Amino acid sequence: MRYNRRMETDDETNNQRDQAHPTRRALLARASQAGLALGVGLPLVEWLAGCGEPTAATHHAAPIPTASATPQPTPTPDTRPVTIAITGDVMLARSVNDQMLATASGDPFPFSATGAYLRGFDLTVGNLECVVSTLGRPEPKEFTIEADPRGFARVAAAGFDIVSLANNHSGDYGKDAFLDMLTHLPAHNLQPLGGGANLAAAHAPVIRRIRSTSLGLLAYSEIGPENFAAGPTTPGHAWLDPDAMRADLAALRPQVDFIVVFTHWGIEYQTVETDHQREMARLAIDAGADLVVGAHPHVRQPAETYQGKLIVYSLGNFVFDLMPGYEESRGNVLALTVQGGQLLDWKLRTAVIGAYGEPAWA
């Protein structure tokens, strides 16, 4: 409440006395004349203390009656469904990186044709299939891919909220580069999934509450090298171990309405899932997952339902260069509509990869 009453007196003696020993009323008058919004800005007791008026600690004044609080109506829960997009592999290195550096800051490449669609979802998730850093040296493996940190801004501008680090390329330049990437992602409002500074952090879920629906996400990789996996005190990703996944799901299940498990598995360029993929997907659902979605094979693999729950074995590539074959140059984006613990709708939208690994809708 703002006080604007002016205090006036014709008694010169009283004015002089108030100047020497101001009363509480005189101080209130000064506050009004100074234009102070009492109760909105500096608390009155602090303002009075600064002016020499005794405070509650030293002056026992009668309590000022306050109006009883008006009961507030209980807000109506926002039960509108939540929309989620999940993409396959996003690889920002090699020719993708060269083209990204050749374009101006703020250019949407490599999401020029797809960013508007991805930004239309409440939550967008992708597999970040590279390390984004300037640190480290290549690990002794056949393919190592590292992208310039300018890639963070491109991914964020395309609408991504969460990126999985549980893959076989996030550790390509060693633990220091992995930790550097992990540290910089949040500065771009990108939340890492399936990777952390130690084993516990790597297995920690990402939990998001959107309107009245709470979502939990976990991510795992079972593609070597296994030394990319986090250790008790070392950074890395979450390894797909059946017992660990069961424990993670058991801990997460009471906290959220809907659980997504994002896996990095399968055999490259094989368009049908393996028996092992099928076994692990069903294990995840039996342990409490509501949906399982995979990547890594660089091609799309089938979808099925098990116990009424959706499994998409591989989304294929999304941003990836050097993929000239028909299947390799096509990837799916999984679009979900979820309300509480129910999957209301889902569909797959196909993208075709063009020059410099950039996707466009088929």
User: Beta partners for 338?
Assistant: 82, 343
Q: Let me know whether 349 and 225 are in one domain.
A: yes
Q: Let me know whether 246 and 301 are in one domain.
A: yes
Residue 3 lies inside a defined structural domain of this protein: no
Q: Let me know whether 24 and 139 are in one domain.
A: no
Give residue-wise pLDDT tens across range 182-221. Answer: 999 999 999 999 999 999 999 999 999 999 999 999 999 9
Q: Which range marks the domain in which residue 348 is found? A: 82-361
Quick one: pLDDT at residue 45?
A: 35
- For residue 256, which of 304, 305, 294, 290 has the smallest C-alpha distance? 290
Q: Let me know whether 61 and 129 are in one domain.
A: no
Q: Let me know whether 320 and 281 are in one domain.
A: yes
Domain with residue 189: its CATH number is 3.60.21.10
User: Beta partners for 84?
Assistant: 123, 336
pTM exceeds 0.85: no
**Cβ-count burial 103-130 (b if 16+ within 10 Å, e if not):** eeeeeebbbebbbebbeebbbbbbbbbb
Below-50 pLDDT ranges, the chain: 1-62
Residue 87 lies inside a defined structural domain of this protein: yes
Q: Let me know whether 160 and 49 are in one domain.
A: no
Q: Let me know whether 263 and 341 are in one domain.
A: yes
**Three-state SS at 253:** helix
Task: Among 28, 49, 71, give the residue marking a domain's end.
Answer: 71
**Three-state SS at 184:** helix
Quick one: pLDDT at residue 5?
A: 35
Q: What whole-number distance in Å separates Cα of residue 240 and Cα of residue 309? A: 20
Q: Let me know whether 213 and 240 are in one domain.
A: yes
Q: Let me know whether 36 and 111 are in one domain.
A: no
Q: How many domains does the chain have?
A: 2
Quick one: pLDDT at residue 275?
A: 98
Q: Let me know whether 202 and 140 are in one domain.
A: yes
Quick one: pLDDT at residue 7?
A: 36
Task: Among 71, 99, 123, give the residue marking a domain's end.
Answer: 71
Quick one: pLDDT at residue 73?
A: 80
Give residue-wise pLDDT tens across range 338-352. Answer: 999 999 999 999 999
Residue 230 lies inside a defined structural domain of this protein: yes
Residue 6 lies inside a defined structural domain of this protein: no
Q: Let me know whether 55 and 129 are in one domain.
A: no
Residue 130 lies inside a defined structural domain of this protein: yes
Task: Among 43, 71, 99, give the residue marking a domain's end.
Answer: 71
Residue 148 lies inside a defined structural domain of this protein: yes
Residue 90 lies inside a defined structural domain of this protein: yes
Q: Let me know whether 117 and 180 are in one domain.
A: yes
Residue 290 lies inside a defined structural domain of this protein: yes
Cα 311–chain centre separation: 23
